[in-house]
Amino acid sequence: MGAGNSLLVRFIQASAVLIVAGLCMAAVALGWAAYELRGLSSDISQSHARLPAPVRAVLPVAPGILDHPQVTMVRYSSGISSGAVVLFSTVPDQNLAAFLTLPPSTRVNGSPLDDLNTPKAIEALRGAGITVDHVALIDPARVGPLVDGLGGITIDNKTTFVALTSDGRELRFDKGRLDLDGDHAKAYIQAATTREELEKASEAVLAGIVHKVLRPAGFRRMQTIGGVLAHSVATDLTGADVVGLVELRLRGGATLQCQVPRHSPIGGYRATVDRFLGKATSPAAGCTVHHVDSAQLAPPVTVVRAIQRYGWHLFAVTALLLMLVAAIATVVLVTRWPKAGGTPPKGILPPLRRLGP
């Protein structure tokens, strides 16, 4: 019996050590998550401060992003091509994410987008049946660092042209799909936003940035997204909105790429707009669909809602509680650990014996 009791004690001790180690590892992981979310919250606060008051005034009170369809407008904050718009919509009950690219010459309620500032563009789109819930304005002067922060972007260049870098070098951009780093994106956008003849290329980098930021890549990229928003974007999006967008993209489903041709009235593409908004499921001109698999490790929606509500505080408090439990378990384990050559502590085996026959 002595050898059996000793083996049981060692098993209990090993299990207790593993439990304490697991609690500590979970606390560290939650602490890291709290740090990431706190950084995201701080970064987004900086981008909030830069959003012009007239833009904020025309935006509606947006409902929960996990439950209701929403549309986000992305455009440049200045430059000739500031009229170009990329709209991003999410339709949670259809697991649908859609992109609608509008060139600066797109006519909305009779006016081209490049004649409309952001508040007027939001109101004009509302009249055309598209309610814009959120806005993100990208500073063209910060495109280089933004693209480098994202690890580069891929664009669909509509026309071949040559641009000059800040040190006088010539860069050739061929027509077709191009991979751009920060320096090339900066030269591209400087040319596209200062030369009238490049109007049809002006939305390419804009679309590339939006697609890269919103691609399904998991919660580990939230700090990167926060950094992008903090230094290069003015937006009304909150930390809860960003968490919700990441979760929706992790769900997978259908992704739509829609485009309205240049110099076209948006009212003439009602089927395209309805498909973009998730109001129609039949194929529409100007839209292509891609299917995205859901992430295997996507968190439950209830967990995401808790994160949206409590933010980094939820992880910080949980991490502290786990560390407290681990400390208590360690004290109990040490005080109950049998001395070398001694008898097993009375508090371990008797209760276990009572469970036996």
Q: Give me the pLDDT at residue 126, please.
A: 93
DSSP class of 329? H
Tokens 């002595």, located at residue: 2
Low-confidence stretches of the chain (pLDDT beneath 70): 1-5, 9, 79-82, 192-202, 216-225, 252, 281, 283-285, 294-305, 308, 336-357
Q: Give me the pLDDT at residue 107, please.
A: 92
Q: pLDDT digits over 24-74, tens only?
A: 888 888 888 778 777 777 777 888 888 889 999 999 887 777 778 899 999
In whole angstroms, give the CA distance from residue 19 to residue 30.
Answer: 16
Q: Give me the pLDDT at residue 47, please.
A: 83
Q: Give me the pLDDT at residue 353, please.
A: 45
Would you say 158 and 175 are in contact if contact means Cβ atoms under 8 Å apart? yes
Q: Give me the pLDDT at residue 338, please.
A: 56
Indicate the residue type of 241.
D
Q: Within the chain, where are the H helices? A: 2-50, 53-58, 118-127, 143-150, 182-192, 203-213, 222-232, 239-250, 270-276, 301-310, 312-336, 349-354
Q: Give me the pLDDT at residue 314, please.
A: 79
Strand order, beta sheet including 233-235: 233-235, 134-138, 70-76, 85-91, 96-102, 253-259, 287-292
Q: How far is CA 96 from CA 68, 245, 259, in A?
A: 12, 12, 17
Fold of 55-310: Aminopeptidase (3.40.630)
CA quadruple 299, 239, 66, 88: dihedral sign:
negative
